[in-house]
Amino acid sequence: MLSQADGALAARSGGRIGGGSFRAPSSRPYSSPRTYAPPGGGYYPAPYPVYPGGGWGFPFVVPIFGFGGGLFSLLIFLAIAGFLVQAFRRATSGGYEGGYDEVSYSSNPPVSIARLQVGLLAQARDLQPELNRIAETADTNSPEGRAEVLQEASLALLRHPEYWVYAGGGTQQARLNAAEGVFNRLALAERSKFTEETLSNVNNQLKAANPKGALPSTGELDNPTRLITEGPGEYIIVTLLAATLGKFEIPQVNSADDLRQALRQIGSIPSEKLLAIELLWTPQAEGDVLTTDDILAQYPELKLV
């Protein structure tokens, strides 16, 4: 009974990299109407578009119907009609067509929040120093820096397929005014599984905690009794969260091939689509461990791959 309590009360260190904001995308540039100067001085908006050779001086639509103008006026009319049709389609389709490639320029566009988790055997020891390096050098205040964090983290995971054991993921859709709440709930749910965030870089604020006295030391890991108590399995869990403009989905992860595809997709999100990220991993501190019992208790939704 005492040994199980010790395992349950053991501290769990975590690392965190995050940043971004949920702001509406800037609208298209606005061109002011053409102005003209009347004889009396001053400038006033022209009451209609001015085109040379346009019949009686009415809008360019009139010459199409037998009053002069010609092919040039017809082409302009078709261009304006096409623009109006596209604007109507964007308005009625909620701001994007075909998913990821089209984004509404309204103040409340669609947002996708993707979460991908990977559980690796602790033998992938090179992964933790790599994630620490990313945290210490990342520029989390710029879209380009946040996109680079996702790229580097995905690449680090792709380099260790022989250690993949567990995985899981999914995507939620929301409008911009509700997306931040969804994103924060997912991030808090993962952060609450740590006893302490021993290394973090959020919005370029780098913090490192001293884990002494809270986490087991390397010497304790060498104790055979402790290893037998906690079981032979030790793992590293990495979580990637990304909020993107438009429709974006990662595949359901049921195999190593699915996980490989999901990592490639989330690592290739362009910076101009990326609103916010969270990269979380545990354990972070040297000497800390994550056991099979921890995986079953804290990450029950993960699947074997």
CA–CA separation, 55 vs 65, rounded Å?
11
CA–CA separation, 91 vs 93, rounded Å?
6
Cβ proximity of 236 and 281 under 8 Å: yes
pLDDT score of 31: 42
Give residue-wise pLDDT tens across range 255-266: 999 999 999 999
pLDDT score of 146: 96
Give residue-wise pLDDT tens across range 219-247: 333 433 333 233 346 999 999 999 999 99
Give residue-wise pLDDT tens across range 115-147: 999 999 988 878 989 999 999 999 999 999 999
For the beta carbon of residue 3, count every other beta carbon within 10 angstroms.
12
Average pLDDT, the chain: 77
CA-wise closest residue to 250 among 181, 178, 162, 150? 150
Give 98's pLDDT tier (boundaries 50, 70, 90): very low
Cβ proximity of 188 and 266 under 8 Å: no
Question: 174 versus 40: which is more confidently predicted?
Answer: 174
| Helix orientation angle between 256-267 and 143-158, rounded to the nearest 10 degrees | 160
CA-wise closest residue to 16 among 252, 241, 226? 241
